[in-house]
């Protein structure tokens, strides 16, 4: 479980950085796909934060 949680938090951090980068430097041609991608990334971030909070409360 700890391994999965670490993987999720690392993935969420990468996703967060990518999402911020995408918001700061939006491409000129892939608007809808790009915003969908950012939305999925932020959803993953929120899910992983929920998992982290649940894991901390369990201890």
- How many domains would you assign to the chain? 1
- Composition of the chain by helix, strand, coil, percent to 5: 85, 0, 15
pTM strictly above 0.95: no
What is the pLDDT at residue 13? Answer: 77
Helix axes 31-58, 2-24, angle to 10 degrees: 150
Q: Cβ distance 23 to 38 under 8 Å?
A: yes
Per residue of the chain (59 residues), give pLDDT as tens.
Answer: 567 777 777 777 777 777 777 666 665 666 677 777 778 878 888 888 888 888 888 87
What is the pLDDT at residue 4? Answer: 76
3-state secondary structure of 14: helix
Q: Tokens standing for 35?
A: 């915003």
Q: Which domain holds residue 47?
A: 2-58
């Amino acid at each position: 479980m700890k391994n999965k949680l670490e993987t999720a938090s690392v993935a969420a951090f990468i996703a967060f950085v990518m999402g911020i980068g995408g918001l700061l430097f939006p491409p000129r041609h892939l608007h809808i796909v790009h915003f969908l991608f950012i939305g999925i990334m932020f959803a993953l971030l929120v899910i992983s934060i929920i998992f982290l909070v649940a894991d901390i409360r369990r201890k």
